[in-house]
Amino acid sequence: MPAEWEPQSAVLLTWPHEQTDWQDQLERAHATFLEIALAICRHQALIINCQSFEIIERIADELGAAGVDPRQVKLVHAPSNDTWVRDHGPITVYERMPGEQEPEAVLIDFQFNAWGGKFAAEKDNQLTTILHELDTFGMTQLHHVDYILEGGAIESNGAGTILTTTRCVTSATRNPEQTKTSVGKIFAKHFGCDTVHWLDHGYLAGDDTDGHIDTLARFYGERQICYVQCQDPEDEHKSALDAMEAQLQALRTSDHQPYELTPLPMVSPQFDDEGNRLPATYANFLIINDAVLLPTYSALEDEEAIRIMRKCFPDREIIPIDCSVLITQGGSLHCVTMQLPEGVD
């Protein structure tokens, strides 16, 4: 399974529409998705799945008005329940086919049940199959796996190591009676990994995913991990994130060396209109060709997060995007995007 920083063919989005939970703030969501789309188009191709032809027409007009080459964007019509393509979209691996010397990109379509049956998911669970039938991914093969797994639940360093969270991946509402050992065998089979690092601690209030790794800790190199650190002793996350930090410090690379760890600031508390805390995190960034899209929240910590990202990715442009509206529905920038590595075409 390639690392996110490896060369990419495109990024996939599932656009918000009025039949989703975005209905009451659809224009705000549309504006944020458009900003994400424009940033991606500056660096690589983009595929956008749309609920209706009216949405396709609007997006085409707005991207065109911004100077985007229409050949850079593929607009596809297929029904969806929601916008979290990181979790209902395909996961790409490289496999060496019989008689071939070079590995080829292959798409894996895991099952999706909306994070343990919390929401409707029947359309999202079929979406990758429909997109493949529409030749959205060209000649790339698609393999279906009868196992529930979301893309936001796993992190790959591109060298045989997967980072994940115990609470999410072994939850009984996804795959009953799973253990770290049984999950490790599934990951080895489909991702070709020889090591799985499990984090048993860490969470974000307001998160519906049971602790997706892409909200907490991320590889930014084969031996480098950045993670959310809480320094406020009064914050409810303090003890859990301290325990997660201790686990990260205890992890070892394949040659038994500690990882280089870079803490990310905890976003100052963000709340919805009813006073519920929202899962704002700087760990939910997206790496694309030559750039990193970093979620920001009009928070005091935004500038520090940008500075840290520039140190982590000195050869990439850091593009901050205000994702305040995304966290009102429980996710952020990485959650609404899925990269398609080189060879998916």
Provide the residue type at 333 as one letter.
L
Q: What are phi and psi of 252, to 5 degrees?
A: -130, 150
The mean per-residue pLDDT over the stretch 40-56 comes to 98
Q: Which residues pair with 164 in a beta bridge?
A: 154, 198
Quickly state the pLDDT bin for 148 (edges 50, 70, 90).
very high
Task: Give the pLDDT confidence score for residue 28 in this predicted structure.
Answer: 98
The length of the chain is: 345
The mean per-residue pLDDT over the stretch 274-295 comes to 99
Which residue, 243, 327, 339, is CA-closest to 28? 327
Q: What is the CA radius of gyration of the chain?
A: 19
How do residues 231-247 score in pLDDT, each as one tens digit?
Answer: 999 999 999 999 999 99
Quickly state the pLDDT bin for 161 (edges 50, 70, 90).
very high
- Stated as kind and residue range, the H or E segment containing 250 is helix 238-250
Q: Which residues pair with 221 in a beta bridge?
A: 224
How do residues 205-231 score in pLDDT, each as one tens digit?
Answer: 999 999 999 999 999 999 999 999 999
Position of tokens 């910590």?
A: 301
Q: Which residues pair with 62 in a beta bridge?
A: none
Query: Which tokens is 71 given?
Result: 């050949």
Report the chain's mean pLDDT, rounded to a whole number: 98
Neighbours of 216 (CB within 10 A): 26
Q: Walk across the sheet containing 91-95 and list its strands.
A: 91-95, 104-111, 141-148
Q: Which residues pair with 163 in a beta bridge?
A: 155, 197
Q: How far apart are CA 208 and CA 331, in angstroms?
A: 8
First to last CA, the chain: 17
Provide the residue type at 221 as one letter.
G
Position of tokens 């949405």?
A: 55
Contact 130/78 with Cβ under 8 angstroms? yes
Provide the residue type at 283 as one letter.
A
What ranges in 26-142 are assigned the alpha helix state H?
26-41, 53-65, 85-88, 114-117, 122-133
Domains of the chain: 8-341 (3.75.10.10)
How do residues 18-42 score in pLDDT, each as one tens digit?
Answer: 999 999 999 999 999 999 999 999 9
